[in-house]
């Protein structure tokens, strides 16, 4: 098989650069996840996810990140294949080098991480891009407009449902229709249409209030299902309805098998990172005999902090702490 000829060290350099970017992302992601541990009804974590989901710089970063992950996988596989092709005859004796188990298993742990990230995306990221159904939330302020507010006000005063409020207005308008000019009638129909369109949103707001689905600060409606999200996207396209990742994470980590699955994911990452950190430094030429022990130690500290930080979330949530 003929693969494009690029010097092995150039490929390794790319892998190291791309890998370093991923090491930085992991630390960032782990730190942000710790907000899930706060018992604040998701105030901090939701604010963080809201920022991540709405800021355009972050959106560009997200594309870059996904591209970088794909590039990292392709480059490492390419490197593995070309290295193997360069030495078609296996060594007679198995290597007795004392490299970490992670070093020998890099490709396998990489493949496992790829599978785990797929499952992880199914749990969270795909909900954000609309490929999987989840649990959603929306800012109350974004749903309020003149019509919704009017309906809600009459509904609160009369005790009628929003649909009944609009039906009553409709009946009354029909009664007086022959007493007003055609221009006034046209205006009346316009207003009536706006009121009718506002009914589903007003209904949603009033059921959410009845079912106590408002966040503690009253700013968000929580626990919207997929149908409610679809209705909102159609009725108020710019309302910014978004996944409720705080609740979703807490709900998922209340099941032991999901916790075990994620701990396995972190273990594989641990195996991968043990080698990744010093290896990136070596390839980038940032190591030498004097600093090697420091780099090794930094690598260990980084790996333990990231893996324990990630593991803390499912474990502590499961334990109800």
**Cβ proximity to ligand HEM, 138 vs 249, nearer residue:** 249
Residue 269: CB minimum distance to ligand HEM, A: 5
Answer whether 27's CB lies under 8 Å from 306's CB: yes
Residues 1-60 that bind ligand HEM (CB under 6 A): 26, 29, 33, 49, 52-53
Among 35, 220, 277, 310, binds ligand HEM (CB under 6 A): 310
Residues 262-291 that bind ligand HEM (CB under 6 A): 262, 265, 269
**Cβ proximity to ligand HEM, 37 vs 295, nearer residue:** 37
**Cβ proximity to ligand HEM, 148 vs 248, nearer residue:** 248
Among 40, 41, 62, 139, binds ligand HEM (CB under 6 A): 62
Residues 228-247 that bind ligand HEM (CB under 6 A): 245
Answer whether 263's CB lies under 8 Å from 311's CB: yes
**Cβ proximity to ligand HEM, 137 vs 201, nearer residue:** 137
Distances (CA, A) of 5 to 8, 19, 88, 189, 260: 9, 22, 17, 71, 43
Residue 233: CB minimum distance to ligand HEM, A: 17
Q: How far is CA 27 from the centre of its chain?
A: 16
Residues 184-213 that bind ligand HEM (CB under 6 A): none
Contact status: 136 vs ligand HEM (CB under 6 A):
no
**Cβ proximity to ligand HEM, 13 vs 65, nearer residue:** 65
Interface stretch with ligand HEM, choices 86-94, 117-125, 194-202, 203-211 (CB under 6 A): 117-125
Among 11, 120, 133, 300, binds ligand HEM (CB under 6 A): 120
Interface stretch with ligand HEM, choices 113-121, 180-188, 220-228, 292-300 (CB under 6 A): 113-121
Contact status: 313 vs ligand HEM (CB under 6 A):
yes
Kindly determine how many residues on this chain lie close enough to bind ligand HEM according to the rule CB under 6 A.
Answer: 22
Among 21, 78, 125, 267, binds ligand HEM (CB under 6 A): 125
Among 11, 128, 194, 300, binds ligand HEM (CB under 6 A): 128
Distances (CA, A) of 60 to 54, 126, 316: 11, 17, 33
**Cβ proximity to ligand HEM, 65 vs 284, nearer residue:** 65
Q: Which residues bind ligand HEM (CB under 6 A)?
A: 26, 29, 33, 49, 52-53, 62, 65, 113, 117, 120, 124-125, 128, 245, 249, 262, 265, 269, 310, 313-314
């Amino acid at each position: 098989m003929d693969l494009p000829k690029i010097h092995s060290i150039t490929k390794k350099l790319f892998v190291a650069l791309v890998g370093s970017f991923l090491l930085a992302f992991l630390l960032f992601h782990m730190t942000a996840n710790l907000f899930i541990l706060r018992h604040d009804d998701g105030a901090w974590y939701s604010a963080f996810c809201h920022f991540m989901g709405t800021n355009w710089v972050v959106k560009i970063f997200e594309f870059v990140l996904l591209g970088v992950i794909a590039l990292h996988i392709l480059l490492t596989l390419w490197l593995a294949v070309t290295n193997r092709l360069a030495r078609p005859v296996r060594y007679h004796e198995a290597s007795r080098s004392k490299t970490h188990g992670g070093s020998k298993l890099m490709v396998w742990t990489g493949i496992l991480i790829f599978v785990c990230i797929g499952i992880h995306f199914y749990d969270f990221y795909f909900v954000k891009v609309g490929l999987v159904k989840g649990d959603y939330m929306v800012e109350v302020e974004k749903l309020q407009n003149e019509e919704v507010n009017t309906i809600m006000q009459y509904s609160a005063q009369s005790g009628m449902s929003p649909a009944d409020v609009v039906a009553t207005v409709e009946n009354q308008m029909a009664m007086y229709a022959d007493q007003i000019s055609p221009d006034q009638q046209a205006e009346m129909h316009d207003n009536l249409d706006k009121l009718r369109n506002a009914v589903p949103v007003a209904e949603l707001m009033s059921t959410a209030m009845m079912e106590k689905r408002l966040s503690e600060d009253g700013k968000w409606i929580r626990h919207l299902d997929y149908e409610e999200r679809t209705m909102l996207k159609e009725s108020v396209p710019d309302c910014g309805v978004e996944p409720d990742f705080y609740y979703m994470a807490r709900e998922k980590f209340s099941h032991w098998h999901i916790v075990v699955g994620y701990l396995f994911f972190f273990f594989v990452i641990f195996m991968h990172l043990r080698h990744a950190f010093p290896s990136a430094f070596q390839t980038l030429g940032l190591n030498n005999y004097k600093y090697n022990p420091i780099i090794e130690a930094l690598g260990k500290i980084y790996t333990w902090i990231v893996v324990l930080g990630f593991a803390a979330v499912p474990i502590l949530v499961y334990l109800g702490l």
